[in-house]
Structure 1
Amino acid sequence: MSHHNEQAEQLSPAETEDRIWKIADDIRICMLTTWSGSEQHSRPLSAHVSRDEHAVYFLVDESGHKNEEIEKFPEVSCAFVDKGSNDYVVIAGEAKITNDRAKIKELWSNFAKAWWDDENDPSIRLLTVSPSRGEVWDGPGSAIAKAKMLLSAATGGDIDMGETGKTRL
């Protein structure tokens, strides 16, 4: 019986990656955590999740402590929570702030109007997170309790499933 339960809790690396990208894309709002050198700071941001581009994008203002923190300490994490289904995803990776006006225009939405008049506002910056690690905790309704994955493209086919479905890609 216990063997059957173990089987139910394993997702393949590909399934794990699918879940991470799908949940992040569905939830959209995440807590972005940065490091100041002495403490962590978290704030809610609206994420634009693009699996095809292997990136999570945010529109941010040019002012703000997070920008300085990211320049010094580019490793960040993005936590997505779906309270309704008890799904949790964390995507960690390297963040970069740029003034990519074409991408800013592409990501512009009505949601952003709460902070800026339009996409041409010169204070808007693009924050890009390039994921290197991901973890998913699925709610009780799902077969999988916890799965981890590493999104590092450099390691090729080196797979370490571990007990929670961890993988390098």
Structure 2
Amino acid sequence: MKNLSNKEAVEKLRDLATDIDFAILSTNLGQAKFDATPMSTKKVDDEGNIWFLSGKKSNHYNYIKEDNKVALMYSKPGNMSFMNVFGKAEIVSEQSVISELYGTGDDMWFDGENDPNICALKITPDEAEYWEPKQNKLISFFKFGIATIKGEQPDLSQHGHITV
């Protein structure tokens, strides 16, 4: 288990969040039926904050207004890369921030960057955990095959804890 903090932590967080891109944003965490919504990562800033665009009419928007504790679950099974992030969400309505994050792909969800329904979500991580392969996929499959033949446990991934 590797423990990362400070600049190294922000870089690992940025690398994984931007490479995986899509995350499940979970809100209403204190309830048995929490809310989970797929989101596309817009950026990870120099402080390690993760940014998304969101709609003000969404369930998670209302849950964040009540309780800002959130979890993000990133998963890219094809690469065997995963990350869980626990932190606090902040709703940001500044047009300059929305304009910076907005891309043409967002037209699918919003009526342009000036849509009155749009806002940005700033997720400030408290901590995160990640799992990723130690080597590329081909080497990992080869090592898995060898370990299977030998009846051994393969050592394919690394696990780490991130404190931002």
What range is the shorter-chain TM-score in?
Answer: 0.7 to 0.9
State the alpha-carbon separation in 2 of the partners of residues 12 and 90 from structure 1. Answer: 14
Aligned counterpart, 1:145: 158
* Structure 1 equivalent of residue 118 of structure 2: 124
Work out the CA distance in 2 between the residues paired with 1:98 and 1:50: 15
Mapped contact 1:36–1:69 kept (Cα < 8 A): no
Query: Residue in 2 aligned with 1:163?
Result: none
Higher normalized helix content (fraction of residues): 2
Consecutive unaligned residues of structure 1, counting only runs of 5 or more, are: 1-9, 152-169
Give the 5 Å matches for 1:64-79: 64-79=58-73
CA pair 16-100 structure 1, distance change in 2 beyond 3 A: closer
Runs of 5+ unmatched residues, structure 2: 137-155
State the SS of the aligned residue for 2:90: strand
- Conserved? CA contact 1:104–1:119, under 8 Å: yes
2:55 is aligned, of 50, 53, 61, to 61
* Partner Cα separation in structure 2 for residue 106 and residue 81 of structure 1: 26
Could you tell me how far apart the structure 1 residues matched to 2:127 and 2:38 are?
A: 20
Give percent identity, aligned residues only.
23
Q: What amino acid sits opposite 1:65 in the alignment?
A: N
Which structure has more strand as a fraction of its residues? Answer: 2
Where 1:120 maps in the other structure, the secondary structure is coil
SS at match of 1:145: strand
Measured in 2, the distance between the counterparts of 1:16 and 1:138 equals 15
TM-score computed with the length of structure 1 as normaliser: 0.75
Given candidates 11, 24, 30, the residue that maps to 2:23 is: 30
Q: Within 2, Cα distance between the matches of 1:133 and 1:36?
A: 16
Report whether the alignment pairs 1:83 with 2:72.
no
Q: How many residues align?
A: 142
Provide TM-score, normalisation by structure 2: 0.77
Residue matched to 1:18: 11
* Residues 1:54 and 1:16: Cα distance change in structure 2 (over 3 Å): closer
Please, which moves more after superposition, 81-90 or 13-22?
Answer: 13-22
